[in-house]
Amino acid sequence: MRSVPGRLANVLLSPSPTSMRRIALAGVVANAGIVMTGAGVRLSESGLGCPDWPRCTATSIVAGGDTGDPLIHRWVEFGNRLVTLAIFVVAVLVFVAAWRYREQGTRRRDVMWLASLQPAGIVAQAALGGIVVLTKLDPVWVSIHFLLSMALVAAAVALYVHCGEGRGPTRLLVPREIRLGAFGTVGVLGLMLAAGTVVTGTGPLAGAGDIPRFHLPLGGATQFHADIGWLLGGLVIALVVGLRLVGAPRRAVRLSWLLLALIGAQGAIGYAQYFSGLPAGLVWVHVCDSVVIWVTALLLLFALRDRGAVIPAATQSQAGTTGARAADGTPAAVAPGAPLPQDARLR
């Protein structure tokens, strides 16, 4: 009987389509998690708890010594660095699994390249984190740091989706205008995320003391952010109606309703935090909800097209045993881009 480490190594080095998708999902959770912990560092005013980089202080790697900042701030910042290290390990494991993953005996290049973005992106994030610390939380670098994190979440979501679909040509499941509307929704959402970093970098939560800030009127920056939110809500309502009218796949319709509910909750949280004086805990909930909204919007966008199903391992093995192949080298039992029977699809 194989040991637990042996089974885990086998899953990692010889991943099936199902296990590869689960590994990719771990990457999504890890990348979303680091955004939430990073927001906790910012909102607890712990960004300079470790005033040096890559050490915590000039004389200590860990959160020790006396820097003039409360000890809890040093441990919050140092803890976030440890979380980043753990997520880097997850990213490397995702890449190893993607490198070893085979479908029909060949490597999935789309899966491999999307997986490679995760460890590379986290290394870039670590460097940006160092710049943020060394520039004493300059709001421009803090904004870039956050937006790169959201880009990595998008790459992780794309990897998760690609691991659950085949390599056939892309087939739209809704009219092109509907999909363009979904692209527009994601674009406006990205703009709203960027505007949110400007609001934070302008207001009191940018940090205590002489922390640099954007020299903008807080009321104006907040109003601009809210206006984008109203535009986003209108686009999502139109998208929900459009998907219902064109008979879109049920999964896409469910995701659109979920997206609308999340944005409605986000709006309520946003106004509540503004009129209650921006309590850090409520702002943290606002940031976490924005991550969930971002993931949901991306999943909805991918749900509007189809690239066929992943060929199950049993089918691959049978094709390899019989050796029957079509003229283009594809196993004769499965035509390129053709969907498999319903019970053979990976869900």
Strands 106-107 and 102-103: antiparallel
* β-strand partners of 331: 325
Same structural domain for residues 113 and 189? no
- 223 belongs to a structural domain: yes
78 shares a domain with 189:
no
User: Averaged over 270-281, what is the pLDDT?
Assistant: 88
Given this model, what pLDDT does residue 60 score? 78
Q: How many domains is the chain partitioned into structurally?
A: 2
* pLDDT level of residue 180 (50, 70, 90 thresholds): very high
**What tokens were used for 345?**
């699809």
What was the pLDDT predicted at 343? 40
Name residues whose C-beta falls within 8 Å of residue 94's C-beta, 6 or more positions apart in sequence. 23, 24, 26, 27, 115, 118, 159
pLDDT of residue 346: 35
Q: Is residue 277 very low, low, confident or very high in pLDDT (cuts 50, 70, 90)?
A: confident
Distance, CA of 160 to chain centre: 10
Q: What is the mean pLDDT of the chain?
A: 85
- Tell whether the torsion through CA atoms of 254, 257, 259 and 262 is positive or negative: negative
Answer yes or no: do 40 and 132 share one domain: yes
Supply the DSSP string of 191-217, one letter for each residue: HHHHHHHHHHHHSGGG-SSS-----S-
| Low-confidence winner among 74-78, 191-195, 209-213, 294-298 (lowest mean pLDDT) | 209-213
168 or 289: which leads in pLDDT? 289
pLDDT, one tens digit per residue, over 187-235 is: 999 999 999 999 988 888 766 667 888 889 988 999 999 999 999 999 9
- Virtual CA dihedral for 287, 291, 296, 302, nearest 10 degrees? 140
Task: Report residue 42: phi and psi, to 5°.
Answer: -65, -50
Return the higher-pLDDT residue of 315 and 152: 152
Which range marks the domain in which residue 296 is found?
168-306
pLDDT for 317 equals 41
pLDDT digit string, tens, across residues 35-46: 999 888 888 878
Tell me: do 158 and 172 sit in the same domain. no
Torsion of CA 77, 285, 27, 72, to 10 degrees: 20
Of 115, 142, 122, which is closest to residue 81 (Cα–Cα)?
A: 122
> What is the reported pLDDT for 64?
66
User: Residue 133 domain-assigned?
Assistant: yes
pLDDT of residue 208: 62
Same domain, 177 and 97: no
